[in-house]
Chain A
Amino acid sequence: MSGATAVQRAPVSLAVYSMWRRELTRFWRQKSRLFGAVATPLLFWLVLGAGFGGSFSHSASATDTDYLEYFFPGTVVLAVLFTAIYSTISVIEDRQEGFLQGVMVAPVSRGGIVAGKMLGATTLAMAQGFLMLLIAPLIGIPCTLVSFAYALLALFAVAFGLSGLGLMIAWMMESTSGFHAIMNLLLMPMWLLSGAVFPLSDAHSLIKVLMYANPLTYGVSAFRAGLYHSAEAAPAPAAPLTACILVTAAFATLMVMGSIRLANRPSRNGR
């Protein structure tokens, strides 16, 4: 017999790698997802951007960027949000289809499984964010390699945080039927109130409070600041840039740790 009988403690890194790779392979083989994740935000951008543009230009915004340009980073964040959430929510399908059962009887920490899933979702989200960023120079955002790198870094933290959030939600949900409610009541408002659609400075004071309480606000600001790093006039961030970076990093860390902890918790009913 082969040496396979002497099964050693499975290294977490191998499980993380394998789960990560599976996410990528699955995504690549589901072409509709590939298309939907980029096309939907782009459609949003064109339709909403063109529609709001007129009224927006009269507002008291400090910069003279036009609305399509203002809305662009928000669109990239939306694409990242869609992909991160849709990828992690597939944990529910994994459970229903039985795939997760097979994973759960392997001698490997659940945290590793979850980490691989999150990394996979983050990678996919980043790939789409990257593709969309290539449009930035075409619409007049002055991009350099440095600003591009800063923007990607910020986007990475945002993607990781959202993947962690998505995973935590998915891990606790029984079926995908409740997912639309979560999307409409939590995730979309989170995006709408993040400064992605309108700047914090223009908002009603009550909305402002909500926006300050929203961790994504800082992510969007950090991303925007990165993107306009090389520009003369950049849109004002919601808070000092250091604070934005710190909050974004803290949010990502918290979500990742949270979902790993959640997964490592022994289940009561064996599901």
Chain B
Amino acid sequence: MSEWAIEVSDLTKSFNDRRALDRVALQVESEHIAALLGPNGGGKTTLFRILATLLQPDSGSARICGFDPVTAPDRVRRVVGVVFQSPSLDKKLTAAENLRHHGHLFGMRGRSLERRIGVMLERFDIDDRANDQVETLSGGLARRVEIAKGMLPGPKVLLLDEPSTGLDPVARLDLWHQLDEVRNTEDVAVLMTTHILDEAERCDRVTILDAGCVVAAGTPASLKGQVGGEVIRIDSDQPQAIVERIGQEMNLTADVVGRTVRIESPEGAGLIPKLAELLNDHVQTITLGHPTLEDVFIHQTGRSFNREREE
């Protein structure tokens, strides 16, 4: 058995001319929560579907608990729980009926199945709604049933595709509570795709995927360490003019993302008074902060993380 819960190397997949994954490598340790972070269209869902045995890669290899999803899909299915982005519950069935049906598909039955359903309902705090049809549940509750369903057969690996999509902030926090609970009570590795930076920040390990390529991977802290020092952001109407000005007068390099000028510098705070004095007229706000995962992304790609929002 492999020491990694998930091990991916050189994985490549194209759709017609578009390369969705380009020699992607990724490892997830057991009992870790790992994030696959990237903007929409970065290839996250493609990788997710390959690991879930629903899509075949063109080349490269993937192993889940040592099993290959291409050559041994049924063995992979037996050790993987999958939570899809779009709900996979039958809305006309109750929460308990959905779990029971899923258990049957995994060969579980009888009293041991009922016992396991009971454990899951209790763990995800849905036992009081167990006999309600799923269509009457809120989005947050339904997502809990989804995770309970994925965890029901006792998988070694739980895959989640954008688990917080469509959830309000309270339900999002709750989701995290549930995932921590899963990790603490079951011997399972979690891999989630996400385009939400805060969510990736909470994971043990983050792999950043952009345009089908891994641009960075590591713990959130080590990734942010790569950026170096602190990050100054200057919001302005004329970002290009500012970049030229500080290049000439202060010998600083900066990049422009949208209407924001970003300066990565080890001496962060000390620069602010000088910048304020020099740029005085053109600046709306200057902020100083520790690097975030967004800075890591910009640092690696030179582009803003949420491109769609700006365009």
Contact = CB atoms under 8 A, between A and B. Distances in A.
Given A98-B86, A105-B77, A107-B77, A7 B92 contact: no
A176 interface: no
A14 B87 contact: no
A3 interface: yes
Interface residues of A, number: 34
Contact of A1 (B74, B88, B133, B154): B154
B90 interface: yes
Interface in A1-45: 1-5, 7-11, 14-15, 17-18, 21-22, 25-26, 29-30
Identify whether the interface residues of B are mostly helix, strand, loop, or mixed: loop
Interface in B83-108: 84, 86-93, 97, 100-102, 104-108
A108 B105 contact: yes
A25 B92 contact: yes
Interface in A235-262: none
B104 A2 contact: no
A14 B104 contact: yes
Given A1-B186, A29-B133, A270-B49, A103 B105 contact: yes
Interface in B52-106: 52-56, 74-75, 77-80, 82, 84, 86-93, 97, 100-102, 104-106
Given A4-B108, A26-B93, A107 B78 contact: yes
Contacts of A101: 54, 82, 84, 86, 88
B84 A1 contact: no
Interface string A90-108: 0000000111011111111
B53 A105 contact: yes
B44 to A, nearest CB: 15
Given A2-B154, A97-B87, A101-B88, A25 B107 contact: no
Contacts, number: 107
A7 B90 contact: no
A264 B187 CA distance: 32
Contact of B84 (A17, A21, A102): A102
B116 interface: yes
Given A22-B90, A270-B54, A7 B106 contact: yes
A144 B23 CA distance: 71
B80 A105 contact: yes
A10 B105 contact: yes
